[in-house]
Amino acid sequence: MEQTDKSKPYRRDLPVRDDEIDNSFKYEIANQVGGEGLLHCLKCGACSGGCPVSAVIDYRPRKVLGNVLLGMKDEVLASESIWLCAACFTCEERCVQQVNFTDVVTVLRNMASREGNAAPGYVKMAEMVMKNGRVTARTSSVDRMREKLGLPPIQDPDVEQLGKIMKAGGLVKVIEANKKKEDDAK
């Protein structure tokens, strides 16, 4: 993944070369749940204008969409930007074309994860769920608070069952692929 100095505008080598373009990329996304609206994007930029994380990402929503439509598969799937979306849905509210960019981001994250490009924090969270059934530890203060409020105690999840479901759904393989890529990069 190309590292970006956030104090400077993002720049890459131009023009884009033919061998960087995968013309089927946009259809791959449009054929998945959440990606259906992609091909209607006008690249008007209304999504970028309202995006609260635009100031700190190398690719704003319009740029991600432009690169997706152009077929820059490797670059988009290696981009840090797709992992910094806060899922606030402002882009979806502003979009006149119902592209549903937040959902497109989910599709991109899934594709990036399968290639071992998931953000490390997300891999850690998935591991925590696999090991403990939750992403945060259960604390005695929460237990006491629930008791005080008259709420039932938190039930511990069946981690064995959860592991089986994660394995059957392919998530264990995705975690392993991402950890291997992380180790290889050290």
Give the residues lining the site for ligand SF4 (CB under 6 A): 41-47, 50-53, 61-62, 65, 85-91, 94-95, 97, 99, 101-102
- What phi and psi, each to the nearest 5 degrees, are found at residue 170? 90, 0
Nearer to ligand SF4, 29 or 175 (CB): 29
Nearer to ligand SF4, 31 or 98 (CB): 98
Work out how close the CB of 162 gets to ligand SF4 at its nearest, in angstroms, rounded to a whole number.
Answer: 28
Work out how close the CB of 83 gets to ligand SF4 at its nearest, in angstroms, rounded to a whole number.
Answer: 11
Work out how close the CB of 31 gets to ligand SF4 at its nearest, in angstroms, rounded to a whole number.
Answer: 18
Nearer to ligand SF4, 27 or 89 (CB): 89
Nearer to ligand SF4, 6 or 146 (CB): 6
Q: Which two tokens stand for residue 37?
A: 């609206």
Instruction: List helix spans (H) across 71-170.
Output: 73-77, 81-84, 90-94, 101-114, 120-132, 140-148, 159-168
Work out how close the CB of 18 gets to ligand SF4 at its nearest, in angstroms, rounded to a whole number.
Answer: 25
Whole-number Å distance between alpha carbons of 31 and 22: 15
Work out how close the CB of 149 gets to ligand SF4 at its nearest, in angstroms, rounded to a whole number.
Answer: 33
| 1 half-sphere exposure, CB direction, 13 A CA radius | 23
Tell me the CA distances in angstroms from 29 to 7, 69, 160, one per residue in order: 32, 10, 33
Nearer to ligand SF4, 44 or 162 (CB): 44
Whole-number Å distance between alpha carbons of 97 and 80: 25
